[in-house]
């Protein structure tokens, strides 16, 4: 049963609170995080000085209405009076006037986005280096709305591995080899080798159409638009007005059945969405990448993509039954969590706006090599084409 507000014991969490195994809930092939109270911190700007704490939040943080800060409809408490909003670590009154540079804390009932319930497989565990096969949909480290539902968080909760220092990044929807240093000094060694151009990378992708047999080298600048969350390409130019960053990727066809091709991708540089947008520029985008599926792709390809998404959902549903049976024998089965009456997201586990329809991209990191080391990851199942 869910507990009433009166007997809830609220435990405030900060970044110092490590993820634990019992923080996760598994349902229908999806990994959720139990909502938790988390401290969001900001420091008062000069222009905030003199404002009451209520006016400050109502004017500057418009995600909630004024009643949330002053009172709630069901309780006489407010976010300020209950201590969910604090100044320099202390509870203040709704009339308190903020001073410049003060620490402002807002403790929220945080709902993390869910990810696919796939294991973070450990490939190599050494004294200085850990390598894993990162599952698609899981971000590498805490970012944005994600904190516990990350590779680093899951490894700490389920394998007691900490601290870890990722030495490269994979996009959230990309799977494959992830290398993590086990000390800051080892991470610095990797960083220096990467910056010196001593590290080679290899990915594999499943793309639309029959990719050319000969090697394709794409030298197109990549311009990432953070607001839109996507990149565009533009040719190399001496024009100072060009915004994109120089980027080069080499592509080699591994196999094809005419409809799809498996392509080996060797990025020389490391720009955001580089492989995805460079493949799009060749006319052979990743076959399940809605962000970069070109407008000229025929309707049959789009119908195939839609059918694939439907099949993926059905597969997740079937797989979840055996997954849930396994989980029921462990502490992962504890699915109860406290409903917070002041939370704007409860009783849902996922944040508002999450539609649950995402899947992993057909892009997978298979190999990283340096001056005296090589780490590899097995190929995914989709990298085998039926003729």
Domain positions in the chain = 36-110
DSSP 3: P
Residue 14 to residue 149: CA distance in whole angstroms? 16
User: How far out from the chain centre does Cα 115 lie?
Assistant: 9
Q: Which of 23, 88, 128, 171 is catalytic?
A: 171
What pLDDT is attached to residue 183? Answer: 96
What pLDDT is attached to residue 326? Answer: 40
Residue 154 to residue 138: CA distance in whole angstroms? 10
Q: Is 77 a catalytic residue?
A: no
Smallest CA-to-CA distance from 34 within 63, 64, 60, 2 is with 2
Residue 238 to residue 158: CA distance in whole angstroms? 51
What pLDDT is attached to residue 234? Answer: 86
- Helix, strand, or coil (residue 292): coil
Q: Which fold has domain 36-110?
A: 3.10.290
For residue 264 the two structure tokens come to 């080996």
DSSP 379: P
What pLDDT is attached to residue 387? Answer: 54
Check: CB of residue 199 under 8 Å from CB of residue 368.
yes
Residues of the chain with pLDDT under 50: 1-8, 75, 296, 298-334
pLDDT digits (tens, 9 = 90+) for 316-352: 443 443 344 344 334 444 456 778 888 878 888 999 8
What pLDDT is attached to residue 12? Answer: 63
User: How far out from the chain centre does Cα 358 lie?
Assistant: 12
Cβ-count burial of 71 within 10 angstroms (0-12 exposed, 13-18 middle, 19+ buried)? Answer: middle
Residue 132 to residue 139: CA distance in whole angstroms? 13
- Global pTM value: 0.81
What pLDDT is attached to residue 5? Answer: 41
Non-local CB neighbours of 109 within 8 Å, separated by 6+ positions: 35, 36, 37, 340, 342, 343, 345, 346
Residue 12 to residue 38: CA distance in whole angstroms? 6
Residue 261 phi/psi, 5° resolution?
-135, 145
Helices (H), strands (E): how many in the chain? Answer: 6, 19
């Amino acid at each position: 049963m869910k507990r009433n507000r009166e007997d809830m014991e609220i435990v405030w969490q900060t970044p110092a609170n490590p993820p634990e195994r019992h923080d996760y809930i598994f349902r229908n092939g999806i990994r959720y995080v139990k909502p938790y109270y988390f401290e969001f911190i900001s420091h008062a700007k000069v222009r905030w000085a003199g404002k009451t704490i209520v006016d400050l939040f109502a004017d500057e943080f418009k995600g909630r209405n004024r009643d949330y800060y002053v009172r709630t409809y069901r309780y006489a408490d407010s976010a300020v009076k209950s201590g969910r909003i604090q100044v320099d670590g202390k509870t203040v009154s709704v009339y308190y006037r903020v001073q410049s540079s003060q620490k402002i804390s807002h403790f929220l009932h945080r709902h993390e986005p869910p990810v696919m319930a796939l294991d973070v497989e450990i490939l190599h565990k050494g004294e200085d280096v850990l390598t894993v096969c990162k599952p698609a949909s899981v971000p590498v480290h805490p970012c944005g709305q994600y904190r516990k539902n990350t590779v680093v968080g899951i490894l700490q909760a389920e394998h007691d591995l900490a601290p870890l220092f990722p030495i490269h990044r994979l996009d959230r929807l990309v799977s494959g080899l992830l290398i993590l240093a086990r000390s800051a000094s080892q991470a610095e060694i990797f960083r220096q080798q990467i910056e010196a151009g001593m590290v080679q990378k290899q990915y594999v992708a499943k793309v639309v159409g029959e990719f050319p047999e000969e090697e394709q080298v794409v030298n197109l600048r990549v311009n990432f638009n953070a607001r839109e969350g996507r990149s565009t390409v533009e040719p190399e130019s001496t024009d100072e007005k060009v915004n994109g960053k120089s980027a080069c990727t080499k592509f080699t066809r591994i196999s094809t059945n005419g409809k799809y091709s498996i392509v080996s991708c060797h990025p020389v540089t490391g720009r955001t969405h580089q492989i995805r947008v460079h493949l799009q520029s060749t006319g052979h985008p990743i076959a399940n990448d809605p962000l970069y599926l070109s407008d000229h792709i025929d309707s049959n390809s789009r119908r195939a993509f839609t059918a694939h998404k439907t099949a993926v959902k059905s597969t997740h549903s079937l797989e979840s039954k055996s997954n849930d049976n396994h989980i029921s024998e462990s502490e992962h089965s504890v699915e109860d969590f406290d409903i917070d009456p002041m939370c704007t997201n409860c009783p849902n586990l996922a944040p508002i706006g999450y539609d649950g329809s995402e899947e992993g991209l057909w892009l997978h990191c298979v190999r990283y090599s340096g001056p005296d080391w090589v780490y590899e990851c097995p190929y995914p199942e989709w990298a085998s084409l039926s003729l």
